[in-house]
A and B are shown apart, each in its own frame.
Chain A
């Protein structure tokens, strides 16, 4: 029987309870919260988790969602097989 967790980040199994406790511990912006709990760091690279975390954070801090901004989406936005990167010629 699966327990009734509210999952914010399915890739990294981060629950709403975990996020809320982390906000109370002072990780009260998206990037800190991401670094502490690991949400948005899985293979999907931050989709629904960012939407849900931003809503939770806005509700808890009273800040505007727009002002909370976004996490940084660095390239590449997908896991890439190493063999796709390994054949570059040396450009010393």
Chain B
């Protein structure tokens, strides 16, 4: 079995990673192409030069940053693979795979406490500062000539309804707003719209699966002229100016809108176990997005941690693609049975990740008894956490969800947050599944359209 499963692909292209030629296809992200070429260690970490790779595959974390054609800290999960690109690991010498400064990780087995280390020995402290600062870091400054990257002014944008996030809630909101006659703009940080619908294997909203529901929504969005801007991330809300600022490859845009729907979704978390940062540890949604978007398997022998809906969907997608899958329930009672080919370990938790530079095995534990599972990937399928940034910047009232580990907006029946022209839907408003996200998104979109059109009347 190969990492790339059979499917129709874009034109073959080639780029280099740390000097090595990587075969890719147009339409793939750097992360997908590198993973398919079995390159999992993309860079080294800031302080201890620990190996790092793809985790969330959704632009939320920064574990997959690489240097691309002289630009530092580019997220490989969002960056398209381009023919001839020079891609390099960061913070590693001579390469991410064999970084000599990885010694720092062993020199400080617990952690380096820079507040107290050598505090009584000023000379040693100063020397250490110089050495550590040289070795630590986030790569080198850009090597692109300043003339090639001129300053660009902030663009202005307007919409009746501005929707942030093109997952199920955001897409449903945008379609409903546009169907009600509002000029609707939908911002999506990743290169593709759909969010969890891209990977959802179950029937939803009358469609046989997520991709079918997504195709239907995109079709309706097209008919109602929703302006969908992918690879465009909302990065700020400035209340004093009433402007939401977005960023894409070209620059910034300041948006004015009659109403705004926050459908910012949620992000995945790793389990807090030893070596939880090793390449090969993924968020479950992100890992199967690799499969759905690019036909690239996250691993061949995969442990899924958490019998949550995300975990079960991951089991289904992986088994269908031919991977060997073990489901560790993490104390979660599954809402439905995983496929028969999945090995189920009940009443157990992931206790540790093992591997030299990437996942080689996973230890699972039950009542103090530990067993070792050989694996090349661990998918964390715990409850994802609502994205907090924009929600907090609006000042909307929030409630805490302990299982998800974060705050979501408290909304009324129309998705209104109680603050200004802000509506929220999906995980941002406390929704727990795709079905309710779609329904609440549609309600919030329709209400946002009414609000926007009343404001302009």
User: Which A residues contact B (CB, under 8 angstroms)?
Assistant: 1-8, 10-18, 21, 36, 42-48, 50-52, 54-56, 65-66, 70, 72-73, 75-81, 83-89
Contact = CB atoms under 8 A, between A and B. Distances in A.
Nearest to A74: B393
A85 B252 CA distance: 8
Given A2-B278, A8-B272, A75 B238 contact: yes
B148 to A, nearest CB: 10
Interface in B35-73: 45-48, 50-52, 55, 60-63, 65, 73
A36 B233 contact: no
A72 B277 CA distance: 25
A1 B356 contact: yes
A19 to B, nearest CB: 9
Contacts of A88: 153-154
Interface stretch (B337-345, B367-375, B398-406, B412-420): B398-406
Contacts of B407: 70
Given A10-B52, A66-B400, A47 B138 contact: no
Contact of A6 (B106, B149, B272, B393): B272
B457 interface: no
Contact of A73 (B47, B151, B393): B393
Q: Which 3 A/B pairs are nearest by Cβ-Cβ distance?
A: A75-B236, A4-B274, A66-B400
Nearest to A83: B151
A2 B274 CA distance: 10
22 contacts: A1-B106, A4-B274, A4-B275, A4-B352, A5-B50, A5-B274, A7-B277, A8-B272, A12-B47, A15-B111, A17-B111, A21-B113, A46-B388, A47-B61, A54-B405, A66-B400, A70-B407, A73-B392, A75-B238, A80-B252, A81-B149, A87-B154
Interface string B243-265: 00101000110000000000000
Contacts of B267: 47-48
A79 to B, nearest CB: 7
A90 B448 CA distance: 35
A87 B245 contact: no
B385 A47 contact: yes
B73 A2 contact: no
A84 B251 contact: yes
A51 B150 contact: no
Given A2-B105, A13-B46, A83 B272 contact: no
A77 to B, nearest CB: 4
Contacts of B278: 2
A91 B46 CA distance: 39
Nearest to B48: A13
